[in-house]
Amino acid sequence: MIALATSLAMLTATPAPAPPVEQVIVTGHRPSADPCHAIAEAKFRQWQQQRFSRVQTETFADGTEKTREKIYTDNTLYIGHGTMWGSLQLFATQRHVESA
């Protein structure tokens, strides 16, 4: 009886070994391999930029009017002529100081 009590105590006192746990640490955004996703993400970031728009109406000597809508972002100007749109890249030149 004493041997049975000792073996029961040993069974309850020793825990079963735990299975190994895989730890995954995510430190940033993993880019997608899908090119459509990359294009959509770039377009999304592009339209999240700060921007302002301006509607310009020109009146000509013959009385006709032409309306243009312009949207300015940090590095691009979008120009709307009716239903057609165009874009221009804007570059801010960096000042350069000559070395002495």
Domain ranges of the chain: 44-90
Distance CA 71, CA 78 (A): 5
Looking at residues 67-73, what average pLDDT do you find?
Answer: 88
pLDDT at 29: 64
Has this prediction a pTM greater than 0.75?
A: no
Average pLDDT on 29-56 reads 81
Q: Is the pLDDT of residue 65 over 80?
A: yes
Contact call for residues 82 and 74 (beta carbons, < 8 A): no
**What is the pLDDT, as a whole number, of residue 61?**
93
